[in-house]
Amino acid sequence: GASAGLCLYPDRYSYHYDVDGHVTVLDPATGPSAVVARCSIDGAGLPPRVPDVVWRAGADLNPLDVHDPEQMDWLEALVWPEHDERRRRLRAAVRLAAEEPAQLLRGDLLDTVPELIARAPAGSRVVVFHSAVLVYLHCEDRKRFVELIEMYPEVIWISNEGAGVLPTVTGQVRRPINGRTVLAVNGRAHALVGPHGQSYESLDVAVGGV
């Protein structure tokens, strides 16, 4: 799911990257955002800037409406009680998304992703991104999704899933995963990240066991 579309605004959020105690701040082109994501990262993984997004859309079995207070209360209830900063960040993201609601297509990702790829503006670089989504699919459907996305060599595929969800990705990691997720681009493992994006450890990709 797209979490009410909140995962579709990487260009509208600010980022505070901590590299060995030195914080690098990346803001949107419009200036600092009310939504701030903090991450401990190594120097190799530090991005140069916030991405440019020309079109955004997501797929969800049950899309949530950022204008519906009851649905947003339900989404907020999923945040652990002691995680006050995450709760404040969620509320700020909801306010931002309400100003520019993302297009959300209801349906199974095996059906909706091809349709969304076809809808993308001509000449744009299409990126399909999912985080802790495939874990909810049966193993056979995960394989079907990988086969599906590989049918689009022009599409950049970014996955962020737990150990074992994509065996061909996890099998590239040669260090302990320790509860983190594996970030991969086009099936190639790039980093181990905290389950809520709070850390990023670059990988020198290799073939081998976990």
pLDDT at 70 over 80: yes
- Residue 50 dihedral angles phi and psi, to the nearest 5°: -75, 140
pLDDT at res. 1 = 73
Of the candidates 210, 199, 173, 203, the one whose C-alpha atom is nearest the C-alpha of residue 20 is: 199
pLDDT at res. 182 = 98
Mean pLDDT rounded to a whole number for the chain: 94
pLDDT at res. 205 = 54
- List, for residues 147-161, the tens digit of each pLDDT value: 999 999 999 999 999
pLDDT at res. 209 = 38
Return the structure tokens found at 189: 């493992």
- Residue 17's identity, in one-letter code, is Y
Cβ neighbourhood burial of 3 (10 Å; 0-12, 13-18, 19+): middle
pLDDT > 90: percent of the chain:
93
Cβ contacts of 166 within 8 Å, gap of 6 or more: 134, 142, 146, 159, 182, 184, 187
Average pLDDT over residues 155-175: 96
pLDDT at res. 204 = 75
pLDDT at 142 over 90: yes
Length of the chain: 210
pTM over the 0.95 mark: no
CB neighbourhood size of 207 (10 A): 9
- List, for residues 83-139, the tens digit of each pLDDT value: 999 999 999 999 999 999 989 999 999 999 999 999 999 999 999 999 999 999 999
pLDDT at res. 151 = 97
CA distances from 2 to 16, 106, 120, 133 (A): 23, 10, 17, 9
Average pLDDT over residues 12-18: 98
- List, for residues 22-53, the tens digit of each pLDDT value: 999 999 999 999 999 999 999 999 999 999 99
pLDDT at 82 over 80: yes
- Residue 126's identity, in one-letter code, is V
∠ CA 124-191-208 to the nearest 5 degrees?
A: 115
